Every structure is written in C-alpha cells, then in structure tokens.
C-alpha cells in the first residue's frame, strides 16, 4: 500500500522535471509528511501541462463526506470495483513524490517506518486515478494511488507497494488506454529505488519538517541487517 507521501523539491525543479506548471490553489510548498486526507500534487491526463493539488482519497459518488475517500486501489482488481470503473477507463494521473513511507511489521514490537525513494532523481511519479466528487461546498478533485505486488526491495518491508512508474513510462500512463496501463501496473522493475528506516516521528502527520527523512541511527538501520520476521 502507500499510506504516506512527501514532495519537497523546489517548485522550479518540479516544473522542469514534469514539464508542467504549478497551478494549485495556494501555490506549492515543500512537504515531508503528507497523510491521507491531505492534498497531493498530481498531473492528470486532462491537463498534462499543469500540476494541481487533489484530495488524497478518491470519493465515490455515494460518499457523504471527504473522510470516506479511498486512499489506495489494488491495480489487479481496480477495473472490477465500482468506485473506480470510470476513473480506470478514462482518468489516469501521475502522483508526484520525493519518497513514500511504509511501515514494516515485526514480531514482538511496534511497526517500523521506512522511507523509500529513487536514487537517480529527487522526484518521481506513482500511478494514480483521479475523479471529481460533488460535495455540498462544491466539486472536490480527488485521487487514489494504485498498488501492486512488492519488488525485491519492498518485500521485506510490506506485501504491497505503490505502482512507481519508470520515467520513460510516465507519458504513456497518461495517454494509453486501459489495456496498456494494465501492463504498466507491476512491481517497480529497476534497481534505483532504495529504502532506509526513519524515526517514528513520521507517524504523526503534524511532524512535517526535514528531520522526518533523517535515517534512524541504530544497530539495525539497514535492510540487509535483519531477517524478515
């Protein structure tokens, strides 16, 4: 799954990387700890030259409030689930990220958070679907992040991972039809993702500062130093 995100590159670098202009209300500000229910920066197929902010949690038509948004969608079955049918057919988007967080369960102890990011660049895109929910106060653009099976890096941490798109597949994700996009929903195929353990400060969305991404310093901070329990 993907339960926490970050995006903290300078706006000029973000715009250059995705060849798009920030158009989000309120502009852009770096964030190190983005939780579900907040807004995510996205590029949609309807506006590939714009970076907007969408509510994290896709809201089905029958939802009564924002808190009922669906944060993640399993890519293997997304085309079979009623809340995502229309979005899967015609509303793909890129969810922009400087790195996401995942929690590893360990026997006899609390879950431990890891930061996962791409070594070859300061930001990347995850595969998402967008929609617009009509709430009492007006339309709410919303988004869900697609997930898939873990790759070799993620397997010791969690049994799911977001669909991280290789850079050369980002445009295809926005322009292709469902059959091609289905082929892109796979464990990240390259070896430029890395992960390290961070402090449990990330558990609190109120902790949104550069210290959140600092590696946790202890004897077993590396993924290679333990056997999955």
Q: Is 102 a catalytic residue?
A: yes
Say which residues have a Cβ less than 8 Å from residue 87's Cβ, sequence separation at least 6.
58, 129, 130, 131, 144
Compute the C-alpha angle 83/89/91, nearest 5°: 80
Strands of the chain, DSSP E? 5-7, 21-22, 31-34, 39-44, 50-56, 72-74, 92-97, 100-106, 109-118, 124-135, 138-148, 161-162, 164-165, 193-197
Spot the catalytic one: 102, 142, 185, 197: 102
Give the CA distances from residue 39 to residues 4, 59, 69, 77, 183, in Å, rounded to whole numbers and listed in that order.
11, 13, 12, 25, 28
Cβ atoms of 203 and 113 within 8 Å: the answer is yes
Q: Which of 2, 93, 142, 185 is catalytic?
A: 2
| 29 is a catalytic site residue | no
- Point out the residues that are catalytic: 2, 102
């Amino acid at each position: 799954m993907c339960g926490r995100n970050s995006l903290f590159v300078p706006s000029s670098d973000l715009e250059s990387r995705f060849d798009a202009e920030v158009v989000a209300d309120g502009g852009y500000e770096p964030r190190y700890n983005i939780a579900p229910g907040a807004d995510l920066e996205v590029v949609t197929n309807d506006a590939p030259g714009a970076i907007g902010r969408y509510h994290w949690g896709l809201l089905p038509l029958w939802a009564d409030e924002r808190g009922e948004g669906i944060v993640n969608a399993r890519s293997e079955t997304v085309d079979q689930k009623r809340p995502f049918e229309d979005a899967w057919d015609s509303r793909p988007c890129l969810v922009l990220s400087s790195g996401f967080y995942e929690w590893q369960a360990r026997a006899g102890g609390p879950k431990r958070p890891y930061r996962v990011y791409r070594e070859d660049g300061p930001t990347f895109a995850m595969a998402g679907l967008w929609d617009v929910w009509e709430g009492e106060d007006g339309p709410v653009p919303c988004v869900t992040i697609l997930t898939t099976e873990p790759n070799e890096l993620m397997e010791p941490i969690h049994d799911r991972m977001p669909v991280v798109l290789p850079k050369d597949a980002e445009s295809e994700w926005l322009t292709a039809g469902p059959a091609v996009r289905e082929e892109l929903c796979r464990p990240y195929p390259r070896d430029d993702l890395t992960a390290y353990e961070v402090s449990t400060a990330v558990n609190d969305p109120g902790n949104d500062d550069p210290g959140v991404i600092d590696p946790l310093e202890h004897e077993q901070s590396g993924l290679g130093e333990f056997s999955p329990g």
